Every structure is written in C-alpha cells, then in structure tokens.
Amino acid sequence: MKLYTTISSLQVAIKTDRAKGLKVGFVPTMGALHEGHLSLVEQAGTSSDIVVVSIFVNPNQFNDSNDLANYPRTMEEDLKLLSTVRCDYVFYPDVEEIYPVPDTRQFSFGILENVMEGKFRPGHFNGVAQVVSRLFEIVDPDLAYFGRKDFQQLAVIKNLVLQLQLRVEIVACDIVREPDGLAMSSRNKLLLPEYREVAPLIYRTLMQAKSLSATSSLENVKEYVLDEISRTNLLTAEYFEIVDDTNLQSIKSWNEPGIKVGCIAVFAGKIRLIDNLIF
Ligand code: PAF
C-alpha cells in the first residue's frame, strides 16, 4: 500500500498501471473508516486490478461549520484498517491540492436534490458533486464504489456521471450494520454512550415499518415510524419518507410501480444519522 498526497505522484503510479492494461477501482472516503468502508474496498479488490482509496474531508459539502470541525479524523487508524484489505494506493491530499482555487461550480440535480438530505442540508450535494467530479478527474477510475447508506448521494452521483458523460461505472454496495442493526457510519464514533445505546431503534423501526406496510396505509406507516422514534427523548426524527428509488419522490400509494425505499434522518443528540431500507 502506497500513500500519495499529491495529484501528480498519484497520477504517475496510475498511468503506469493503466499502461499495463490494469483496471482501476476507486473508493472515495472522508476517512474515519469502518467495516462499511472496508467492504467497499474489498468489493473494489474483487472487480478491479488496482484499488485506490481517497481520504479527504471535503469542506465544501458541510453546510454546518461545527459538523466540519467535529468530523472524526483518524488517519493512523484508517491506514491500519486499510492494511488489512487489498488497497494499492491511498490518496490523502490537503484542501489546496483538491481546490487550488475555490470551486464555484453549480450543479443541478433537479428533483433529486430538493428532497430529504438536499432539503435539510442546503448546498450539500453541490459540494459532493464538486469533490467527486474533481476526484474522478484526478483518478479517472474505471469503477467507483459507493455505499447504499447514502442512498440519495448514490442517485446524485449516478446523475452527475450522466451529466458529465464520464466513463466511470458506479457500483452500489450494500449497507453494513453493527450486530445490533445500527448502520455503520463514521459519525457513530461521535455518539455518546447513552445515544449509542438507543440508536439501533432506528433500524428496528424501519424493519417494523416494512412489516406493517403489508397491512397498513402509507400514512399509518409514516406515523408509526415518527411515533416510535419519539418514544425515546434521546432521538429526534428530522424526516421519514418512503420514496421511489429512481426519482426519490415520496410515493402517494403502495400501488405505485417501482421499488420503494424508506429513508430516515434522526438526530441522536447533536449527531445526525441516516438510514434506509427497501420496502
Ligand atoms: O460518502 C462520503 O463519504 C462522501 O460524501 C464522499 C463521497 C467521499 C465525498 O466527499
């Protein structure tokens, strides 16, 4: 595993591999790695010849400066974890390397960005698009791996690839959960013990809601989820939506065609957690 902090040194290595006809797989991350990230890296290892992982806490995608300041940074542990799987190159640039001049590009994702995360975190997806397009330009991967936990992000990135007509293939990877069901997230590291204890209620509630959906109305299922979450005063739901998996719009009836996904954002104290489940 080699560590690069500059674009030019990373590109020299990748160019040599590409000249040998090797397929480059890319896993962009913001560090604070966990088993979920490792599963993306492992998946990259099975379908690509060279695995590149980037670790870059992208300031442009934080709409809250406290959230950016508190975002966990655990570089040493991250490198240790990456050494347990097949990772060829780690790209660890600083902000000036990625943004030598401020990135003022404005992307538009239409209806995909006006709901859920896009609604509650204004500017977030524009920042994600800025960094992901920049990283794609630098790495020029054949395949890039993203987790389904960030379900809306995945849809936005697929749309970005279409808009920019990039050749990269986006690979969606399943959510990895703690034994108690909590979706793995870098932010879990920030949960105080009492919040960590109640956080699995989020997934349990999604599972119950899915069972209920066989016999209950859409409204009742939504009400059930919000009521369940508010049963502990340690959790506050920001939204719960059941959406169509391609256009991300709230469904109006169970009879609508297509795959339906229950998406939730919950505050556990100051820490915001998201999760989703296919219904
Ligand atoms: O999902 C993340 O960790 C980030 O949004 C990403 C895709 C690495 C861009 O900073």
Note the CATH number of domain 2-173.
3.40.50.620
Cα separation of 235 and 206, whole Å?
Answer: 14
10 to each of 88, 91, 204, how far by Cα in Å? Answer: 11, 7, 43
pLDDT for res 219: 97
Question: Is there a contact between 28 and 132 (Cβ–Cβ < 8 Å)?
Answer: yes
pLDDT band at 36 (very low <50, low <70, confident <90, very high): very high
- 16 φ, ψ (degrees, to nearest 5): -65, -45
Q: Write the residue with the smallest CA distance to atom 6 of ligand 1.
A: 29
- Ligand 1: does its nearest atom lie under 6 Å from the Cβ of 14? no
CA of 28 to the centre of ligand 1 (A): 6
- Between CA 35 and CA 184 the distance in angstroms is 7
Q: How confident is the model at residue 153 (pLDDT cuts 50, 70, 90)?
A: very high
**If you average pLDDT over residues 107-117, what whole number do you get?**
97
If you measure from the C-alpha of residue 114 to the centroid of ligand 1, how many angstroms do you get, rounded to a whole number? Answer: 19
Q: How confident is the model at residue 117 (pLDDT cuts 50, 70, 90)?
A: very high
pLDDT, residue 249, reads 98
pLDDT tens-digit series, residues 195-226: 999 999 999 999 999 999 999 999 999 999 99
Burial class (CB in 10 A: 0-12, 13-18, 19+), 22: middle
Residue 14 contacts by C-beta under 8 Å, 6 or more apart in sequence? Answer: 24, 50, 52, 89, 139, 140
Q: Which atom of ligand 1 is nearest to the CA of 128?
A: 9
What are the residue boundaries of the structural domains of the chain, listed by start? 2-173, 186-278
Q: What is the pLDDT of residue 235?
A: 98
Does residue 132 line the site of ligand 1, with CB under 6 A? yes
State how beta strands 260-268 and 271-278 pair: antiparallel
CB-ligand 1 contact for 40 (6 Å cutoff): no
CA of 246 to the centre of ligand 1 (A): 20
Pairing assessment for the beta strands 169-173 and 50-55 based on DSSP bridges? unpaired
Average pLDDT over residues 229-255: 97
Report, as residue numbers or ranges, the catalytic residues: 37
Reported as a single tens digit per residue, the pLDDT across 45-94 is 999 999 999 999 999 999 899 999 999 999 999 999 999 999 999 999 99
pTM, 2 dp: 0.96
The atom number, within ligand 1, closest to the CA of 157 reads: 7
Q: Which long-range contacts (CB under 8 A, 24 or more apart) does 197-204 make?
A: 198/232, 198/234, 198/235, 198/268, 199/235, 199/268, 199/273, 201/228, 201/229, 201/232, 201/235, 202/229, 202/235, 202/264, 202/266, 202/273, 202/275, 203/177, 203/275, 203/277
Residue nearest to atom 3 of ligand 1 (CA): 29
Q: Which CATH superfamily is domain 186-278 in?
A: Pantoate-beta-alanine ligase, C-terminal domain (3.30.1300.10)
Ligand 1 pocket, residue 58 CB under 6 Å: yes
128 lines ligand 1 (CB under 6 A): yes
What is the model's pLDDT at position 51? 98
Mutate-to-test residue for ligand 1 from 52, 150, 160, 170, highest number of ligand atoms within 8 A of CB = 150
Q: What pLDDT shows up at residue 152?
A: 98
- Name the closest-CA residue to atom 1, ligand 1: 29
Mean pLDDT of all residues belonging to the chain: 97
